[in-house]
A and B are shown apart, each in its own frame.
Chain A
């Protein structure tokens, strides 16, 4: 099977699941669209699994800085954590983060939008996803 038909299949499957989920959620609320917060399933979904005390609502560095140098940050993090065991990053505001790609993916989980689109536009081909499983591509 070629890559294109794989992606096409995946897109189709995803669409189907999305529509099914939409119906499931709507059925659960009798057609109401404003009751998400009261729904225990959805509330559970927004809780960080593992309950890590990491403030994941913030970005580690300002957006502009991340846009220009996220690759250096990731490379430095990788080196520090894999080779030196130095796993804690403290940003200029004093917030603590774990030096891990998972820290980024915890919020920026939609990596087709967050990573791929821009990389495609800039025509860069990082090899991150040869090994790291992006949240969106863990198959069934």
Chain B
């Protein structure tokens, strides 16, 4: 690289692009000693700091799983909280190594934005939330409504398309940050709140009177949410992708945080291969990690089902059903590529 430190600094200061996509992210991460994850500034259940300042949530656990795979230590993580508008620039400019931030995989983002998506850790769709007092039972009754939406999201585009396609009128009320949208909806600045349905359940909880609002049944879009990395580093892309597959595969095999040590003694060659106890297994080292990478993920974070239940499942206040996110063996879409 012909650029010197000075030019990189100036470039970074002026344009925020100083350290874009260097070739070996894994080496950088190992040298730094932690994984830097781009996350949401605050979406309960997905990524939000708790009362003592620790980040928790579904997306946060993915970041910890990645740290466990690399360092055998889920605490070696740092977070870059971003708004919908700043997330791509943050990732492109190297302010994070990977993005786990309820972000929809679209062809535009996969190509023109210089990012790479491969896995979907949450199949979502866009929905609407309205106060019960409006007595609305379908999104098709919403003509003339004021709709609160976060700017710079696919949500904003789907909203425009849906109302246009159904010949309905609406008045968009657009804010950059999620808390501002929440406040505007709470104060009655708009009649309807629209975002990914998972987000709606999370946001409804944060309202002062959750029982007075309902999420309408319609889903008006496909929102496959998944991790993204910068283009140009295939090894890192593989590590992030297979971390997800390992989580899903572990659930399929019935390997949990509690029984993972026991499972090491399993006779099943597929389980032995995943946990890195097969004699000549090279899966981990081929990825650039240790052979017990998947064992470490499950040991520290659990399997996909456990991550889901712990953060957003039926036992949490969000009460989200597995639905499309059930394993393929149970009628859902979560399907891990073969680990062999």
Partners in one complex: no
